[in-house]
Structure 1
Amino acid sequence: MSLESYSERLRVALSESDQLALTRLLNNITWLKAAHGEISAELAAQHDLPNLVTQISQEESFSEPLRLQADRLLSRWRRGVYDAPHTPASHRQTGPGGLGLVVGDSWPDREAMHREGAHASLQAGICGDHNYGAYSIVANGVYRDDDKGDEIWYCGTDAKEDRRPTGYTKYLMRSVALGNPLRVFRGKDCPGMFAPRRGFRYDGMYLAVDKRQPPRNFTKPAKGEGNYEFLLKRVEGQPAIQKDMPDNITLGHWHAQKLEAAREGNRMVGY
């Protein structure tokens, strides 16, 4: 389908307040591939897509999941991302703050998060610097986090033989001291009811408000000294955690993309 057709169908669905049709159209537009010349900033503007998607985002009578879906698409476009999500692309810079991410943004693997600059490391669960503190954390079951959704006791990394906090743990210690917010991502192996079914999901901004030596070891090699866990509290005023994301439509696209990558001799990891 051409972008002109998508634009016309969005107008009709908006006029009829057909939320199911809007959901399907937004998904189709999200997964168009810039590499194939199907979408770009110029083409989107030419067919008035940013304006139409903004109308969906701002229509208060629409459901929150639909409005957030529109927000996620607009956010990608504002960041200059017109590729279908998670396709190979240049790595984008990361840093502190929300980076324009929208609650419920999802990725099939750590590499996809890294490419979009959401989380800077392919392995480490904590990213940041010694001036700002932690930019972002990933909760994915490696340590024994206590996750209640809006509050998480999140484990720093294991102190080693010298029993001093690691550099990653110090990022979170700095966050407690300065009060700077950080991005929280959950992976499918995160313990508790807030884990996504697949991949990784952005659940909003949190504040590190307290730290303590844990009442348990993080992992078997962990020593008591030098280990800390941190109380993360979700910043108020954000949309609710989107526990249904990634949804079935997104999972279907991931699966199709995985098959396509396999045919081309590439692999999507972690799915």
Structure 2
Amino acid sequence: MAERRRIETVRDLRFKRIMKNQHSSAVAGASSVAESSTARNTTAIKREAHAESEDNNYEVGPGLRDEAAARLLQRRNKRNPVVASNRLSEQTRFSSNRVISRSDLIALSVHRDTIARVMDKLSPNAADWQFVREALYKLPFENVDQRIVHSSGAMKQLLRFEENRFDIPEDVSLDARMILKRWRNGDYDPHLLRGVDLNQTITHVKGRGAKSVKRTRHYKLEEDYNWKRDDNVEGNHELFVGEWWPLQICALRDGAHGELEAGISGNNVIGAISVIVSGGALYPDLDELDRVLYCGTMGIDAPINYAADPAEDREPGDRIPSHNTKLLMISFKNGTKIRLFRSAKSQSPYAPAEGLRYDGLYTIRAYELLDKKNAVYRFEMIREKNQPKIRGDPDDPGCKPNKVELAKWQGIKKTLKGER
């Protein structure tokens, strides 16, 4: 009996030991599963962090972190549909929401190789530089983004123009630095009207057929455009001689000229900061390239309580200088260096074929009164020395706007005309 009781006790002990071992194995298995799950989660977190770090590796301008986050979210949700209603909005606002294709990468690689092939030579000739010009004409209009311009090596090739290893043609160097400036600021949108919102107002007038509808197009900058620059800055303001814009609002967008329509921009402290030579019957401007006789705007009626300066030779009914004319007078007094743009609307032989072009800094040396009754003044503006030459000769290979810019603008105008 005692022996049987001892055998049952041993059996119970063995059973408890087996149950204990099974419990330990189960705990160990659960622990290993948890560890593997934790490892997988850690790997996923590291992979996402690595992706985020890759997106922010080349952060060089405003708004790029938001673009990187948007790309990361799009990668996480590959089934992210494009709302059909947004397509029309993006098209009319010339949105920068773009998809880079294989053909875009190939085109960028071709331009990169063209530049590299010439820059690697010991002494490039005129034909070599013409190949580079052709590449630089097209490069601003290629569909690229922050990552592509770095990973493709295109940015690296453009940086070589700042090394000054040999005598690079002036226009080639300027075009390369224009592209570099935009890319460094994080602006990769290739469209000429980037950031411009085009609205069309339809007014019904008396008449028949199509003539009963009058369409007026209004231009304004998009409220969410991230690359609008301040224009209230004296001097070059990081502009390069030869920079070109198809519309005045584009110059406003890039901080070149501070007015949407007026030809004189400035403030009451510095005076006129920038002017546009556009001509007109009321303003007999005279353009001699390095010397410009530039007219202020038509005078305004004097207020009732206007106190005339005793030194003024003013008669009752004479107008007084306008605000813009006073800005030019302040610039004359301060010796302000004024940005000068030439418009295609001007009768000047040096005017661009389309739009307006930046031609460097000028200072006012003197001014004269042309029309005492209407208070019209004309200012003698002299171009500052040691600046790149003006790129207005159509026979010069560096003339601006170049043929690619003109072709792009003509295509846009046809599109806008088709919307009417």
Name the TM-score, length of structure 2 as normaliser: 0.56
Partner residue in 1 for 2:261: 123
Does the CA-based 8 Å contact 1:68-1:102 persist in structure 2? Answer: yes
1:159 to 299, 311, 330: 299
Does the CA-based 8 Å contact 1:210-1:231 persist in structure 2? Answer: yes
Using the alignment, how far apart are the partners of 2:131 and 2:415 within structure 1?
26
Q: 1:42-57 to 2 correspondence within 5 Å?
A: 42-56=147-161
Q: 1:34-45 to 2 correspondence within 5 Å?
A: 38-40=144-146, 42-45=147-150
SS of equivalent residue, structure 2 residue 376: coil
Does the CA-based 8 Å contact 2:275-2:339 persist in structure 1? Answer: yes
Does the CA-based 8 Å contact 1:181-1:206 persist in structure 2? Answer: yes
Letter in 1 for 2:364: A
2:348 to 185, 192, 205: 192
SS of equivalent residue, structure 1 residue 213: strand
Q: Does 1:149 align with 2:305?
A: no
The structural deviation recorded for 1:59 is 5.1
Partner residue in 1 for 2:199: none
Q: 1:38-187 to 2 correspondence within 5 Å?
A: 38-40=144-146, 42-56=147-161, 58=164, 60-84=166-190, 86-89=192-195, 90=225, 91-96=228-233, 97-142=235-280, 143-162=283-302, 163-187=319-343
Does the CA-based 8 Å contact 1:175-1:208 persist in structure 2? Answer: yes
Using the alignment, how far apart are the partners of 1:80 and 1:127 within structure 2?
27
Q: Does 1:22 align with 2:177?
A: no
Partner residue in 2 for 1:220: none
Question: Quick one: structure 1 residues 193 and 235, their matched pair in 2 at CA, closer, same or farther if it must change by over 3 Å?
Answer: same
The structural deviation recorded for 1:79 is 4.3
Q: What runs of 5+ residues in structure 1 fail to find an aligned partner?
A: 218-222
Aligned residues: 253
Question: Quick one: structure 1 residues 175 and 189, their matched pair in 2 at CA, closer, same or farther if it must change by over 3 Å?
Answer: same
Does the CA-based 8 Å contact 1:188-1:197 persist in structure 2? Answer: yes
Partner residue in 1 for 2:389: 240
Using the alignment, how far apart are the partners of 2:404 and 2:389 within structure 1?
20
The structural deviation recorded for 1:85 is 5.1
Using the alignment, how far apart are the partners of 2:187 and 2:255 within structure 1?
11
Letter in 2 for 1:248: K
Letter in 2 for 1:176: F
Q: Does 1:227 align with 2:376?
A: yes
Letter in 1 for 2:238: G
Choose 1 or 2 for highest CA Rg. Answer: 2
Does the CA-based 8 Å contact 1:108-1:200 persist in structure 2? Answer: yes
Partner residue in 1 for 2:30: none
Partner residue in 1 for 2:368: 212
The structural deviation recorded for 1:241 is 0.6
The structural deviation recorded for 1:117 is 1.9
Give deviations 1:53-83, integer Å, cap 9, x for gaps.
2323535433222222212222333444322
Does the CA-based 8 Å contact 2:300-2:374 persist in structure 1? Answer: no
Higher helix share: 2
Using the alignment, how far apart are the partners of 1:199 and 1:225 within structure 2?
30
Name the TM-score, length of structure 1 as normaliser: 0.84
Does the CA-based 8 Å contact 1:213-1:227 persist in structure 2? Answer: yes
SS of equivalent residue, structure 2 residue 159: helix
Letter in 2 for 1:62: I
Identity of matched residues, %: 28
Question: Quick one: structure 1 residues 62 and 31, their matched pair in 2 at CA, closer, same or farther if it must change by over 3 Å?
Answer: same
Question: Quick one: structure 1 residues 180 and 24, their matched pair in 2 at CA, closer, same or farther if it must change by over 3 Å?
Answer: same
Give deviations 1:140-188, integer Å, cap 9, x for gaps.
1132111111111111110022211111111111100111111100001
Does the CA-based 8 Å contact 1:32-1:39 persist in structure 2? Answer: no
Using the alignment, how far apart are the partners of 1:28 and 1:247 within structure 2?
10
Letter in 1 for 2:231: T
Question: Quick one: structure 1 residues 118 and 238, their matched pair in 2 at CA, closer, same or farther if it must change by over 3 Å?
Answer: same
Letter in 2 for 1:119: H
The structural deviation recorded for 1:138 is 0.5
Partner residue in 1 for 2:98: none
Give deviations 1:96-137, integer Å, cap 9, x for gaps.
221211111111111221222211111110000001111100
Q: What runs of 5+ residues in structure 2 fail to find an aligned partner?
A: 1-103, 196-224, 303-318, 393-398
